[in-house]
Structure 1
Amino acid sequence: MKDYNKVLVVINPTTDHQAALDRAVDLASKSQAEVIAFLSIFDFSYEMTSILSHQEREAMRQGVIDQRKAWLDDILVQYQPRGVNIHSEVVWHNRPFESVINYAMEHDVDLIVKGTHDHDKLKAVIFTPTDWHLMRKAPIPVLMVKEHDWPVNGKIICAINVACEDEEHQNLNGKVIQYAKHLADKFSASVHLVNGYPGTPVNLAIELPDFDANSYNDTIRMQHEQRVQYIAQTYEIPFENCHVEEGLPEDIIPDMAQKLDAELVILGTVGRTGFSAALIGNTAEHVIDSINCDLLAIKPDGFKSPLEEE
């Protein structure tokens, strides 16, 4: 895959500390990419001020935009020594995710980067509606950033699906791995393949007294291991970096991320219905809530954002 040329960072308006911006600048510095610090703002009270004329409301909105842009530009000053081409963009929009996706599509952005929020009491991650809309509807990769560092010689996990061998899923597996290898080269990281396989269905063991659950489990495990190793061989990934475990993806992926102390998990996401929605539906929600590292959501080739269809 090609290097990133444009990286759009969704700015958190509530804090001066921008973890997503830090990560984006790290990525951009390794590929000479342009970074757009993007802030979408909206205050409903300005729209409801009926005693003001349209021109006066426009002037008030522009005043707020100018104020926030000055605040953002002050934050960007600290990144100047890094030698990265970075600039700010502040827009007035009542649906932040829509403004981000539309800007990204109109300006040929290669990657959207957004930080997540820690809950103070439990240190759990709170994903906002904007996060989920970006994950489901953005046609380009979305990197959700936490506070976990990306050290040299780190680990990148690829969550791959081998239950289906159709062309769509094979292509998506390949795309996930290509992104991982590209980032691994930039950060001298290692790539790991993670896959979960289903255990013995309880109803089979109950309804068929002679059913050999152990033999069934062994057969399913071997099938998944063989398919994962075939993919690993294709992409020159060491077999020792292949991890096939019994269980659901939403359990296996976080467990392996913690065990490996991974810096990044990459998921292939489609976000429609049926199996296509599996990784971006409940599975992704469980995975994202459970991992303590960044997550990169990749769409398949040809994916069209619902915003393009509106």
Structure 2
Amino acid sequence: MKDFQKILVVADPTAEHQVALARAVELATKSQAKITVFLSIFDFSYEMTSILSSQEREAMRQGVIDQRNAWLLDVVAAYKDRGLEINTQVVWHNRPFESVINQVIAEQYDLIVKGTHHHGKLKAVIFTPTDWHLLRKSPVPVLMVKEHDWPVAGKILCAVNVSTEDESHQALNGKIIEHGKALAEKFAGQVHLVNGFPGTPVNLAIELPDFDAHSYNEAIRMQHELRVNYLANEYGIPINQCHVKEGLPEDVIPELAEQLDAELVILGTVGRTGFSAALIGNTAEHVIDSLTCDLLAIKPDDYKSPLDES
């Protein structure tokens, strides 16, 4: 995996502390990446002021853009001693996720970093509609950040899918692990692999009295363990840092992340839309919704954003 060289940080105008920018600076410091802090704004009232000419409305919009850009410059000034190239950009757009992805495609960024919200009581991440659109439609990795530091020797949990021998899934597993190892090397972290496998179907146990559910479960477990261990050996990850657990991914991954006190979970998203997006809502996206740590979402190499017209 190549280092991230161009990072697009999505600013949060409602937050006092820009957690996404802080995390992007941590990453950029390790690779001298260039950062752009990006803000998409829109106010419908400026579009509906019929008593003003189009030139006057444009002047009002530009005034708002200049005001927000001045705010971003103040935010960025706190990092001027880091020796990094940090730029700002504000655009007027009524769909924030589209403006972000359009910018990524036009300027060839290789990472989006965005802060997430969390519920204080449950400590669960709450993803906004913009978050979901970015996770589904971004052509580059998306790092969703929470309010905490990445300590030295932190744990990075890579969620792999070994239930199929499909080449595209295997390639995505490799891509996920490569990102994990690259980040672990920069932050002296520790890479763990996690895989959930399905338990015995209830209908089999009911309909077939002689069916040995325990033996079936053990056979499935062994098959998954062998495949995960093979991946671990291929990428030089110790076997004791591999975790194969019975259960659905949306249950297994968040539970293990909490047990390990992981700083980051890396998983793959296929970026489907429409009916097929609803189908994967029970797997990858439910995993995302239950995490209490940072998340890095990776797309397959052949993925093309629906917003990419090239």
User: Which category describes the TM-score, using the shorter chain as reference length?
Assistant: over 0.9
Task: Sort the Cα spacing of 1:287 and 1:12 in 2 relative to 1 into closer, same or farther, 3 A.
Answer: same
Deviation at 1:302, TM superposition (A): 1.6
Contact 1:136–1:280 (Cα < 8 Å) also in 2 = no
Following the alignment from structure 1 to structure 2, what is the Cα–Cα distance between the partners of residues 76 and 8? 13
Measured on the aligned residues, the alpha-carbon RMSD in Å equals 1.8
Other-structure match for 2:103 = 103
Other-structure match for 1:127 = 127
Other-structure match for 1:113 = 113
Task: Sort the Cα spacing of 1:265 and 1:278 in 2 relative to 1 into closer, same or farther, 3 A.
Answer: farther
- Structure 1 residues 250-303: Cα deviation after superposition (integer angstroms, max 9, x where no partner): 000001101110010001111227998599623233222322110000000021
Q: Would you say 1:238 and 2:246 are equivalent positions?
A: no
Other-structure match for 1:308 = 308
The TM-score with structure 1 as length reference comes to 0.96
Instruction: Give the aligned length.
Output: 310
Following the alignment from structure 1 to structure 2, what is the Cα–Cα distance between the partners of residues 148 and 68? 26
Other-structure match for 1:52 = 52
Following the alignment from structure 2 to structure 1, what is the Cα–Cα distance between the partners of residues 51 and 192? 61
Contact 1:35–1:85 (Cα < 8 Å) also in 2 = yes
Q: Would you say 1:173 and 2:169 are equivalent positions?
A: no
Superposition map of 1:184-203 within 5 A: 184-203=184-203
Following the alignment from structure 1 to structure 2, what is the Cα–Cα distance between the partners of residues 269 and 296? 10
- Structure 1 residues 80-103: Cα deviation after superposition (integer angstroms, max 9, x where no partner): 111111011100000000000010
SS at match of 2:149: coil
Task: Sort the Cα spacing of 1:96 and 1:80 in 2 relative to 1 into closer, same or farther, 3 A.
Answer: same
Following the alignment from structure 2 to structure 1, what is the Cα–Cα distance between the partners of residues 306 and 230? 35
Q: Would you say 1:91 and 2:91 are equivalent positions?
A: yes
Following the alignment from structure 1 to structure 2, what is the Cα–Cα distance between the partners of residues 113 and 274? 25
| Percent of paired sites with the same residue | 74
Following the alignment from structure 2 to structure 1, what is the Cα–Cα distance between the partners of residues 293 and 51? 49
Task: Sort the Cα spacing of 1:61 and 1:273 in 2 relative to 1 into closer, same or farther, 3 A.
Answer: closer
Contact 2:125–2:291 (Cα < 8 Å) also in 1 = no
Other-structure match for 2:228 = 228
Contact 1:269–1:279 (Cα < 8 Å) also in 2 = no
Q: Would you say 1:21 and 2:21 are equivalent positions?
A: yes
Other-structure match for 1:42 = 42
Structure 2 gaps of 5+ residues are none
Deviation at 1:208, TM superposition (A): 0.3
Structure 1 gaps of 5+ residues are none
Other-structure match for 1:291 = 291
- Structure 1 residues 184-240: Cα deviation after superposition (integer angstroms, max 9, x where no partner): 110010110000000000000000000000000000000000000001000010000
Following the alignment from structure 2 to structure 1, what is the Cα–Cα distance between the partners of residues 275 and 53? 51
Counterpart amino acid of residue 253 in structure 1 = I
Contact 1:6–1:110 (Cα < 8 Å) also in 2 = yes
Other-structure match for 1:136 = 136
Following the alignment from structure 2 to structure 1, what is the Cα–Cα distance between the partners of residues 274 and 242? 27
Deviation at 1:125, TM superposition (A): 2.6
SS at match of 2:151: coil
SS at match of 1:307: coil
Task: Sort the Cα spacing of 1:296 and 1:130 in 2 relative to 1 into closer, same or farther, 3 A.
Answer: same
Following the alignment from structure 2 to structure 1, what is the Cα–Cα distance between the partners of residues 33 and 18? 18
Deviation at 1:149, TM superposition (A): 1.8
Following the alignment from structure 2 to structure 1, what is the Cα–Cα distance between the partners of residues 56 and 192? 57
Following the alignment from structure 2 to structure 1, what is the Cα–Cα distance between the partners of residues 50 and 203? 64
Task: Sort the Cα spacing of 1:183 and 1:136 in 2 relative to 1 into closer, same or farther, 3 A.
Answer: same
Counterpart amino acid of residue 133 in structure 2 = H
Deviation at 1:121, TM superposition (A): 5.4
Other-structure match for 1:156 = 156
Counterpart amino acid of residue 56 in structure 1 = E
Counterpart amino acid of residue 41 in structure 2 = I
Stretches (4+) displaced over 4 A: 120-123, 273-280
Following the alignment from structure 1 to structure 2, what is the Cα–Cα distance between the partners of residues 280 and 293? 21
SS at match of 1:306: coil
Q: Would you say 1:262 and 2:262 are equivalent positions?
A: yes
Contact 2:124–2:292 (Cα < 8 Å) also in 1 = no
When structure 1 is superposed on structure 2, of 269-278 and 152-161 the one drifting more is 269-278
Contact 1:24–1:113 (Cα < 8 Å) also in 2 = yes
SS at match of 1:308: coil
